[in-house]
C-alpha cells in the first residue's frame, strides 16, 4: 500500500512539474518539448527511479558515481546523467553507463573522460560547468577559463563532443534574484554555440533546479534538473 501511494505521489509531482515547465516555456515564447526534464534521484532507491520512469521520465540525474553503480542494474532502461562533481579516478566506472556528463570543470577531467571514451570506442557528450557567480564553494570554472577549455578539448579530445553548458545558481530565498546569473550563462552559451567545429554541437543549457527552474527557463534554460519537487526532501543519513 505504501509503495502504491509513493508511486502515485511521484507521478503527480512529475505531472505538476511538467505543467509548470510547459507554462514557463510558453511564457518564454518557446516550445515545451524543447525543454528536457531530468529527474534528480540522489539518495533515492531504485523503486523511486522506476516509478518516475513509469510516469514518463526519460532522463535521470545522479551526482555521485557510486549511486549510479548501485542502482544501475535495478533500474529500467533510461538515459543517465552525471550531474555532480566527478573525480578523475572514477570516470572509468561510468563512462559506458551515462549519456552525458554535466560537470566537466577541468582539463584534467576532460582528458581522462577522453581517454576512457577512446578505450570504449565511444564519443562522450559533455557540458562544461560554469560558475559565473564565482562562488568559492561551488565547482565550475569562470567565464574566461571556459573558452580556453573549449579550445583545448576541441584540439585534444577527439572522443568528446561538446553539447553545452551547465551551472548551479547561488542559493537565494527569492529565485528571481538569480535571473541575472542565468542570463549571463545564457549569453556565454550563445557565444560559444557559434564556434564552428564538428565536435561542438551545442544543444543543452542545463540550469534550474526545484526552486529556481521557472526563472531558469525564462532566461533560456532548456534542461532542468529537478529532485526535491518530484521526490520530496532528501535524507542524507539514509543509505540507499
Ligand atoms: C541535487 C541536485 C539537483 C536537484 O536539486 P533539487 O533542489 O532537489 O531540485 C540539481 N543539480 C545538481 C547538480 C544537484 O546535485
- Residue 43 scores a pLDDT above 80: yes
- Residue 108 scores a pLDDT above 80: yes
How large is the average pLDDT for residues 221-235? Answer: 94
- Residue 173 scores a pLDDT above 90: no
- The per-residue pLDDT for range 16-25, each reduced to its tens digit, is 999 999 999 9
Please state, as a whole number, how many other Cβ atoms lie within 10 Å of the Cβ of residue 12: 12
Q: What is the H or E stretch that residue 108 is in?
A: helix 107-119
- Atom of ligand 1 lying closest to residue 84 CA: 13
- Smallest CA-to-CA distance from 227 within 23, 55, 63 is with 63
103 CB within 6 A, ligand 1: no
Residue 143 has a pLDDT of: 72
Residue 131 has a pLDDT of: 82
Confidence at 174, pLDDT banded by 50, 70, 90? confident
Confidence at 172, pLDDT banded by 50, 70, 90? confident
- Atom of ligand 1 lying closest to residue 102 CA: 13
Per domain, the residue ranges of the chain are: 4-230
What is the torsion angle, in degrees rounded to the nearest 10, for the CA atoms of residue 210, residue 215, residue 219 and residue 221? 20
Q: Is 20 exposed, middle or buried (0-12, 13-18, 19+ CB in 10 A)?
A: middle
**Which grid cell sits at 77?**
532502461
- Atom of ligand 1 lying closest to residue 209 CA: 9
84 CB within 6 A, ligand 1: yes
40 CB within 6 A, ligand 1: yes
What's the topology of domain 4-230?
A: TIM Barrel (3.20.20)
- Residue 134 scores a pLDDT above 70: no
* Burial track 91-124 (b if 16+ CB lie within 10 A, e otherwise): beebbeebebbbbbbbbebbbbbbebbbeeeeeb
How many whole angstroms separate alpha carbon 3 and alpha carbon 56?
Answer: 18
Closest C-alpha to ligand 1, atom 11: 225
Residue 169 has a pLDDT of: 87
Let me know: does 38 contact 81? Beta carbons within 8 Å: yes
- CB contact set of 151 (below 8 Å; sequence gap of 6+): none
Spacing, Cα 228 to ligand 1 middle (Å): 8
Spacing, Cα 84 to ligand 1 middle (Å): 9
**Which grid cell sits at 235?**
535524507
Ligand 1 mutation target, pool 63, 172, 207, most atoms within 8 A of CB: 63
- The per-residue pLDDT for range 180-218, each reduced to its tens digit, is 999 999 999 999 999 999 999 999 999 999 999 999 999
Report pTM: 0.94
Amino acid at each position: 500500500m505504501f509503495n502504491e501511494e509513493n508511486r502515485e505521489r511521484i507521478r503527480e509531482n512529475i505531472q505538476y512539474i511538467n505543467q509548470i515547465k510547459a507554462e514557463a516555456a510558453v511564457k518564454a515564447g518557446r516550445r515545451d518539448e524543447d525543454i528536457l526534464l531530468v529527474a534528480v534521484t540522489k539518495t533515492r532507491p531504485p523503486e523511486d527511479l522506476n516509478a518516475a520512469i513509469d510516469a514518463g521520465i526519460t532522463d535521470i540525474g545522479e551526482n555521485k558515481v557510486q549511486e549510479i553503480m548501485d542502482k544501475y542494474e535495478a533500474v529500467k532502461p533510461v538515459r543517465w546523467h552525471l550531474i555532480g562533481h566527478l573525480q578523475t579516478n572514477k570516470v572509468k566506472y561510468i563512462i559506458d553507463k551515462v549519456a552525458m556528463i554535466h560537470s566537466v570543470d577541468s582539463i584534467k577531467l576532460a582528458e581522462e573522460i577522453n581517454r576512457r571514451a577512446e578505450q570504449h570506442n565511444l564519443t562522450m557528450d559533455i557540458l562544461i560547468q560554469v560558475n559565473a557567480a564565482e562562488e568559492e564553494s561551488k565547482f565550475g570554472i569562470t567565464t574566461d577559463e571556459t573558452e580556453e577549455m573549449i579550445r583545448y578539448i576541441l584540439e585534444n579530445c577527439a572522443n568528446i563532443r561538446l553539447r553545452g553548458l551547465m551551472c548551479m545558481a547561488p542559493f537565494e530565498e527569492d529565485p528571481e534574484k538569480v535571473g541575472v546569473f542565468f542570463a549571463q550563462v545564457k549569453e556565454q552559451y550563445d557565444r560559444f554555440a557559434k564556434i564552428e567545429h564538428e565536435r561542438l554541437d551545442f544543444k543543452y543549457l542545463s540550469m534550474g533546479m526545484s526552486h529556481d527552474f521557472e526563472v531558469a527557463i525564462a532566461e533560456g534554460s532548456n534542461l532542468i534538473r529537478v529532485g526535491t519537487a518530484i521526490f520530496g526532501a532528501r535524507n542524507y543519513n539514509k543509505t540507499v
